[in-house]
């Protein structure tokens, strides 16, 4: 099983197969617009612009699950991110990432870690690096700034 086995909803509620991203390096992130980590959008956008031509994509999943830090509609969240941080990477429909109502993609991602046990997503801006083959490479904590693991993105792009 890989991330390519999942479909997610775009902001309009349409199904998007992650097979559409086959052959690309992905950074999958659960985000929130009112979180202390929201300024990470700047670094995410910098990395996206720097590496998109080499096959890098960021998949942004807004999540209001943690202290309601992603209020507003999908459209309002998209406008905020586009206007405040000039983001151009793909943003999807707001979801839950952990617990009983978690999106199946994130249920799968929670199980992908070096110890093989479920490691719950506990906060916004948890990041998952996925290789061109759709396989999990590494998980990064909310406190890990995106540029701090740029070398791992570059290594994945070279494979």
**Residue in 48, 68, 75 with CA at minimum distance from that of residue 59:** 48
Q: Is 98 exposed, middle or buried (0-12, 13-18, 19+ CB in 10 A)?
A: buried
35 catalytically annotated? yes
Catalytic residue (choose from 25, 35, 81, 102): 35
User: Across 5-66, where does the E strand assignment appear?
Assistant: 7-9, 15-17, 25-31, 56-62
Residue ranges of the alpha helices (H) in the chain? 40-51, 74-85, 104-111, 150-158
Which amino acids are annotated catalytic?
35
């Amino acid at each position: 099983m890989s991330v390519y086995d999942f479909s997610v909803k775009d902001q309009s509620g349409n199904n998007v197969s992650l097979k559409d991203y086959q052959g690309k390096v992905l950074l999958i992130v659960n985000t929130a617009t009112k979180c202390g980590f929201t300024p990470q959008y700047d670094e995410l956008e910098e990395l996206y612009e720097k590496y998109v031509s080499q096959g890098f994509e960021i998949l942004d999943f807004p999540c209001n699950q943690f202290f309601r830090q992603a209020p507003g509609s999908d459209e309002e969240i998209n406008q905020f991110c586009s206007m405040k941080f000039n983001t151009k990477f793909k943003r999807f429909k707001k979801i839950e990432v952990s617990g009983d109502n978690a999106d199946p993609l994130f249920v799968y991602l929670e199980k992908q870690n070096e110890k093989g046990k479920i490691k719950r997503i506990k906060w916004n801006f948890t990041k998952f690096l996925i290789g061109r083959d759709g396989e999990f490479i590494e998980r990064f904590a909310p406190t890990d700034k995106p540029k701090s693991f740029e070398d791992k993105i570059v290594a994945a792009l070279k494979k």
